[in-house]
Amino acid sequence: MLTQAIKGVKDILPEDSPKWRRLEDAVRKLFSDYGFSEIRTPIIEHTVLFARSIGATSDIVEKEMYAFKDQGGDEITLRPEGTAGVVRAYAEHKLFASRPVTKVYYMGPMFRRERPQAGRLRQFHQIGVEALGVSEPGIDVDVLAALVELFGRLEAQGVELHINSLGCKDCRAAYKAALKDFLMRKTDSLCPDCQRRIETNPLRALDCKSERCKAATADAPMMSEYLDGDCRAHFESVKQGLDDLGIQYVVDPRMVRGLDYYTRTTFEMIAVDKQGAQNAVAAGGRYDGLVEEIGGPSTPGIGFAIGVERLLMMLPEAGNGAGSPQVYIAAIGGRAERFGQKLADELRKCGIPAERDYSPGGLKNQMKKADRSGASFTAIIGEDEMARGAAIIRDMKSREQTEVRFDRLVEEIKTLTRSL
């Protein structure tokens, strides 16, 4: 019996990869335009890193982590998100000393043990940025501008940027207390999860997907009413900056985000599908206390993560042309096959994608395969051609055929494929 892949963990098959590549190429170019360098951190980290950064009462740490003891007894977790690892690397390698403003991006797999469904996997991919060392609102605007521009370049339709401010440690404490009071009075109308959250993480009640909780919290106090002077000014500057760049956004006072480390600016890119359902494709925010929390110097930071699978679902088809050869080699007969093998090798070394049939049948059969391969030209070589010392080059679109002598073959194919 075949051992299948783990539930919620997907293969990215050859026909899917052009879409991924297109996205990754666009992302690399864009982040370099916006001044972000790539960082690659490990997929495994000490479990305590996530418990300390994401927060012990977050959904991720409470129930979604792939955490295990390895053979040596170390507590290890497959990273559920990218920020914790980046911030750890930043502190561990003292990047704050060499790069007072550190702007990095990453892309790679993340792991969460959730119930698999459309757009929700156990191994999924995120593309994200982190900007460390700047507390001024200008960096918030830059980070948001990069996110919005990425969606624009990819021609993603139907997305809305939602923003909010969660304040700082101080003003959020006052708000948390007020919200807790409010929720205590509504206990009976809340779902069991939110009843528990009143003590542990009351903000999450505003984020609950249950209709009961949505109704019960409709007139809950909002963070915006509790922002202190500095946090309010910061948020105003971010909004002003977005306005100056012509970036549209919706202020969503109920957006709280599930991770504990967020402060001040928080945001989501929401995709509104044809049925009107809303789905977060990207999310992020400021985390001014996080570097310190994991043992580094007090450093402000802001970042976001895009869910790649969810983003790809929104993009126009990329076609699978990226994998097509430019030249297909149809060789008939032993001598011609050996010639074909050499020709393919020479073309590939010149950077011309070439393909051939490894167990060639007759001409008709090979031409069918050439057609299916999507090649622009086919080089046809049979016994007659071997005897004449010339191949037939067929333009697969116009169906025109020309004879080219072997000694000019590679040069001629180079000329023909130059404009592809």
Q: Can you tell me whether residue 119 is helix, strand or coil?
A: coil
Residues 322 to 381 in contact with ligand ATP, rule: CB under 6 A: none
| Contacting range for ligand ATP; rule: CB under 6 A; set: 39-47, 121-129, 339-347, 408-416 | 121-129
Which of 121, 183, 255, 344 contacts ligand ATP by CB under 6 A? 121
From the list 284, 279, 269, the residue with the least C-alpha distance to 161 is 269
Task: Tell me: does residue 143 bind ligand ATP (CB under 6 A).
Answer: no
Residues 199 and 178: their CA atoms lie apart, in Å, by 12
Size of site (CB under 6 A) for ligand ATP: 17
The alpha carbon of residue 303 and the mean position of all alpha carbons in its chain are separated, in whole angstroms, by: 13
Q: Is 111 within 8 Å of 126 (Cβ atoms)?
A: no
Which of 112, 186, 286, 356 contacts ligand ATP by CB under 6 A? 112
Which of 280, 315, 396, 410 contacts ligand ATP by CB under 6 A? 280
- Map residues 43-82 to x or -, x wherever contact with ligand ATP holds by CB under 6 A: --------------------------------------x-
Task: Tell me: does residue 9 bind ligand ATP (CB under 6 A).
Answer: no
Which of 91, 150, 305, 416 contacts ligand ATP by CB under 6 A? 305
Beta bridge partners of 329: 356, 379
| Contacting range for ligand ATP; rule: CB under 6 A; set: 114-122, 138-146, 221-229, 241-249 | 114-122
From the list 101, 111, 47, the residue with the least C-alpha distance to 73 is 47
Q: Which is nearer to ligand ATP, 85 or 325 (CB)?
A: 85
Query: Which residue number has the CB closest to ligand ATP?
Result: 307
Q: Which is nearer to ligand ATP, 127 or 291 (CB)?
A: 127
Q: Which is nearer to ligand ATP, 209 or 274 (CB)?
A: 209
Which of 120, 180, 196, 335 contacts ligand ATP by CB under 6 A? 120
| DSSP secondary structure, 40-79, as one string | ---SEEEHHHHHHHH-TTSHIIIII-EEEE-TT--EEEE-
Which of 45, 309, 337, 385 contacts ligand ATP by CB under 6 A? 309
Residue 106 CB partners (closer than 8 Å, separation 6+): 38, 39, 40, 41, 82, 86, 126, 127, 128, 129, 130
Which of 108, 109, 253, 258 contacts ligand ATP by CB under 6 A? 258
Return the CA Rg of the chain.
Answer: 28
Residue 123 carries which side chain, given as an amino acid letter? Q
- Cα–Cα distances in angstroms (integers) from residue 83 to residues 47, 65, 261, 263, 392, in the given order: 14, 15, 10, 14, 57
Task: Tell me: does residue 282 bind ligand ATP (CB under 6 A).
Answer: yes
DSSP code for 336: H
Binding site for ligand ATP (CB under 6 A): 81, 112, 114, 119-121, 124, 126, 258, 280-283, 305, 307, 309-310
